[in-house]
Amino acid sequence: MTPLSCAQATRQFSAYLGGILSGAPRTNLEAHLDACLVCCDALAFSRAFDDFLKRQWEEAPVPESLEARVRLALDSRQSTQPGVRRTALYLDMHRHVEGLTAERAALAHRRDLEVQDKHGVKYLRYWYEEGSGQVFCLVEAPSKEAAAAVHREAHGFVADEIIEVKEGS
């Protein structure tokens, strides 16, 4: 295992705190944290900041129209799609993308589509609300980590939360 630099370690904090960093990358990060007090302090700050953001998120309701559109898309989505290795369906949530516009959301989605095949992922749809900066992405992926890897490589906007969802009738 190659030791991480502090810069490499801090770039993994979001995935680590979100529970989507696993295996060797998680072990490598934890080894770095055991040896680096600066990064331990930075992680503690990141955790406190994440907790603050979660409290803010819980208090900010999702606009009914946005929730309805997401539910409608989940309900109407075809259960089989050729060429997709179906393992799980995820909804990722970006709670506040600063300066979100329709154009920025569309560009980020196009970049996701450009790199998704490398990770065995298929980004299906996205929804956004400019005023709050909220973005939701529906994705088929072998894991949360794979879904996050596409965002990380494509544009760097890693989701605040990724949850597995089941399609209803």
Domain boundaries, given as residue ranges, for the chain: 6-59, 64-165
Supply the pLDDT for residue 19. 83
Select from 3.40.50.20, 3.90.1280.10, 3.30.70.3090, 3.30.2130.10 the CATH code of 64-165.
3.30.70.3090
pLDDT tens by residue, 155-166: 988 999 999 998
Q: Are the beta carbons of 125 and 137 closer than 8 angstroms?
A: yes
Place of tokens 């995820």: 90
Residue among 41, 11, 44, 46 nearest 29 (CA): 11
The DSSP output letter for 97 is -
Q: How would residue 20 be classed by pLDDT, with cut points 50, 70 and 90?
A: confident
Select from 3.40.1350, 2.60.40, 2.40.50, 1.10.10 the CATH code of 6-59.
1.10.10
pLDDT tens by residue, 100-152: 999 999 999 999 999 999 888 999 999 999 989 999 999 999 899 999 999 99
pLDDT tens by residue, 53-98: 777 766 667 676 776 677 666 655 544 444 434 468 999 999 998 8
Q: Are the beta carbons of 137 and 73 closer than 8 angstroms?
A: no
Query: 70 versus 44: which is more confidently predicted?
Result: 44
